[in-house]
Amino acid sequence: MNWMAWTLPTAIFFSVIAAILLCMTLYEVRSPCIERKGFLPIATTRGDRLFIGLLTSAYIHLAYVGLTDMSLWIALGISCVWLFIVMRWG
C-alpha cells in the first residue's frame, strides 16, 4: 500500500491552507460579507476571491516551474502578492 509522503513542505502547505480557511470562516461568522465588484469581471464574496486567488496562484507556480529554472521562492513571493491584490481589490 502506498502512503502519501508527508514531508515538511507538504505539511506546511496543507497547514497554511487549513489556517487560511479557518481564519476566513471565523471572519465570515464575525463579519458577514456582501458581494462586491472589483477588477474581476464578476461580483464576488471574500470566499470567491480566496478561491480565485489560490487557483490563480497555483497556475502562477505551474507556469513558473514550466518556464524558468529559478528558485520557487520567487514564485511564492509573486503568488502572495497576487493573492493579496485579488483579496483586496478583486
Give per-residue pLDDT as tens, 34-87: 899 989 899 999 989 999 999 999 999 899 989 999 888 898 899 989 999 999
Amino acid at 42: I
pLDDT of residue 63: 93
> Please, what's the b/e burial string for 18-43 (b: 16 or more CB within 10 A of its CB; e: otherwise)?
eeeeeeeeeeeeeeeeeeeeeeeeee
* 1 confidence band (pLDDT: 50, 70, 90): low
Q: What is the pTM of this model?
A: 0.79
